[in-house]
Structure 1
């Protein structure tokens, strides 16, 4: 697991899992400055992520996605847990509206 940084946010694999990880920000630099998230890598490729979809004064809306081949392994739980713990540490409210993609 790795905190989302500029290199991870610019990785094509990261955006293939979900363009919404950074889509609500003006740029990757804007995301790095104001967003927060974690990615899980397998053999150097991003296979799961949990990130701020959008931000507001005291909180974030959360986006979580996992590559189809790596689902049902608990990766989303791990990445989401890291994101939630970071939110608690920073006093940020994590708002989460979950939907299952089939």
Structure 2
């Protein structure tokens, strides 16, 4: 994948985000959120892995497989609509909420870069 000059800043931002994600760990709040809401923690891990894995492909200048890209185009809420009923509860877990938002913003930036 070639990066045009006008998207070089976005690519550099994604490289920094990738390093942050590699250096950070999942918030412990996932377990508490799962216990409180019954929403599977696997949904979070799956979303985080989708974004981070797709980001690693972009950083390595590789193509994201079509099926993976189709899922990546969907927001966290679109992939896991049950989160809408738990949105207020999610916001009461600030680390988890910010981690989801960070991945969501990263997902959007990946899509912006490859379009």
More helix per residue: 1 or 2? Answer: 2
Length-normalised TM-score, structure 2: 0.28
Length-normalised TM-score, structure 1: 0.30
- Higher relative contact order (Cα pairs below 8 Å, separated by 6+ residues): 2
